[in-house]
Chain A
Amino acid sequence: MNNMLTSVLRLTARSVRGVSVSQRPARWMCSSSSDEEVLKNLGQMVKKDKVVVFMKGTPAQPMCGFSNAVVQILRMHGVDQYTAYNVLDNQELRQGVKTFSNWPTIPQVFFNGEFVGGCDILLQMHQSGDLVEELDKLGIRSALLDTQTPSN
């Protein structure tokens, strides 16, 4: 039982580079846990990193085009220190995060524990330049600032 939980946990809370997987007992994993518990745990999960993503698949292997788009946008800005939760590993999480943020679709992106939006919003923030500013507020310097070439 313990082994199973550990492996589920490892699969679900996977950090992209160097950030360790949470060792906190994940009680919401148990089938007996209530929806309330899932929501309570989500409150902690979204604050695990400055940038937290709930997605289908993993950053290394996204299982959906929209999740992949989020990963690619973050990569473009040089954001590789973030926590990604794979909702395909956990049905309760998949439903729970939608309730938690009152948002009907996956992927979902959080900055400093605050819901930012899904793929469309991140993409539009990227296109408008707002993403660079929002990352700056988190203390993350976008890699695009260093690679941009004059367009005219």
Chain B
Amino acid sequence: MAITKDHIREKLIAELGAIHVDVEDTSPNRCATSFKVLVVSPQFEGKPLLQRHRMVNTCLATELKEIHAFEQKTLTPEQWEKQKQQ
């Protein structure tokens, strides 16, 4: 079963309370084997980068077994606002 961008987005919203998720299929021919995600969640507040990434990895543990490459960026809503202004 191929993993879809929507599936990843919905799972991150449901399980990590993400208020914004960007998912990009970065596989050479969009064959859903590598993804790049931006996750914005208040649950990241006060947590170091490693812990945030671990939260995402845990949330997508099943999917990551099928995904070959995975890039992620994890921001709090505040950081996300700042980044949008830049």
CB pair A104 B50 closer than 8 Å: no
A120 touches B53 (CB 8 A): yes
Among B53, B64, B73, chain A packs the most CB atoms within 10 A around the CB of: B53
Are B50 and A120 in contact, CB atoms less than 8 angstroms apart?
A: no
Indicate if the CB atoms of A120 and B73 lie closer than 8 Å.
yes
Q: Which residue of chain B lies nearest to A118 when distances are taken between CB atoms in the complex?
A: B53
Kindly state the separation between the CA atoms of A117 and B65 in the bound complex, as whole angstroms: 18
Complex alpha-carbon distance, A118 and B74, angstroms = 14
Contact B49 A103 (CB under 8 A): no
Which residues of A from 106 to 139 have beta carbons under 8 Å from B? 115-121, 124-125
On chain B, the residues within 8 Å of A120 by CB distance are 53, 71-73
How far, in angstroms, from A108 to B4 measured CA to CA in the complex? 26
A66 and B70 alpha carbons, distance in the complex (Å): 10
CA distance A103 to B55 in the complex (A): 11
Q: Give Cα distance in the complex from A121 to B50, angstroms.
A: 7
User: Is B31 an interface position by the 8 A CB rule?
Assistant: no
| B57 on interface, CB distance cutoff 8 Å | yes
Please, how many residues of chain A have a CB less than 8 angstroms from a CB on the other chain? 14
Question: A151: CB under 8 A from chain B?
Answer: no
Say yes or no: B70 contacts A121, CB within 8 Å: no
A121 near B69 (CB under 8 angstroms)?
no
- Contacts A117-B49, A117-B50, A121-B49; is A104 near B57 (CB within 8 Å)? yes
Interface flag for B7 (CB, 8 Å) = no
Contacts of B57 in A (CB 8 A): 103-104
List residues 85-116 of chain A with CB under 8 A from any CB of chain B: 102-105, 115-116
**B61: Cβ under 8 A from any A Cβ:** yes
Is B54 an interface residue when CB atoms closer than 8 A count as contact? yes
Give 1 or 0 for each of B62-86: 1 = CB within 8 Å of chain A CB.
0011000111110000000000000
**How long is the Cα–Cα vector from A120 to B50 in the complex, in angstroms?**
10
The smallest beta-carbon distance between A109 and chain B, in angstroms, is 11
Residue of A nearest to B70 (CB): A105
CB-CB < 8 A to B73: which residues of A? 120, 124
B36 to chain A, nearest CB (A): 9
Known contacts A102-B54, A104-B57, A104-B61; is-contact A125 B70 (Cβ 8 Å): no
A residues touching B (Cβ–Cβ < 8 Å)? Answer: 66, 102-105, 115-121, 124-125
